[in-house]
Amino acid sequence: MVKQQLIHSNYQPLANEIEHYFAQSNTILHNDRNIIKEVEFNNETLVVKSYKQLGWFRSFIYTYLKKSKARRAYEYGLKIAKFTPKVIARIEYFQPLLGKSYLICQKLEADFNMQAPLFKNHPNKQTIFEQFAAFVYQLHQHNIFHRDLSPGNILIKQNNQCYEFKIIDINRMYFKTLSSQDRAKNFNKLWANDTDLSVILKAYARLGKFNEENFVQLGIKYNQQNKTRKIRKRKIKRVLKL
Q: Per-residue pLDDT tens for 190-211?
A: 999 999 999 999 999 999 999 9
| Predicted pLDDT of residue 64 | 95
Q: How far apart are CA 49 and CA 12, in angstroms?
A: 17
> What are the respective helix, strand and coil percentages of the chain, to the nearest 5?
45, 25, 30
For the chain, what percent of residues have pLDDT higher than 70? 98
pLDDT of 235 higher than 80: no
pLDDT of 43 higher than 80: yes
pLDDT range class, residue 240, cuts 50, 70, 90:
low
Q: Are strands 154-159 and 162-167 parallel, antiparallel or unpaired?
A: antiparallel
Whole-number mean pLDDT of the chain?
95
pTM: 0.92
**What is the per-residue pLDDT across 144-154, written as a single tens digit (0 to 9) for each?**
999 999 999 99
pLDDT of 82 higher than 80: yes
| Predicted pLDDT of residue 161 | 84
pLDDT of 90 higher than 60: yes
| Predicted pLDDT of residue 107 | 95
Count how many residues are written for the chain: 242
Rg for the chain, CA atoms, rounded: 19
Q: Which of 30, 27, 49 is nearest to 38 (CA)?
A: 27
| DSSP annotation of 189 | T
| Beta strand extents in 128-239 (DSSP E only) | 144-146, 154-159, 162-167, 173-175
Which amino acid is located at 203 in the chain?
A: A
Q: How far apart are CA 147 and CA 132, in angstroms?
A: 16
Q: How far apart are CA 240 and CA 64, in angstroms?
A: 33
* Average pLDDT, integer, range 68-95: 97
pLDDT of 62 higher than 90: yes
* Average pLDDT, integer, range 28-38: 94
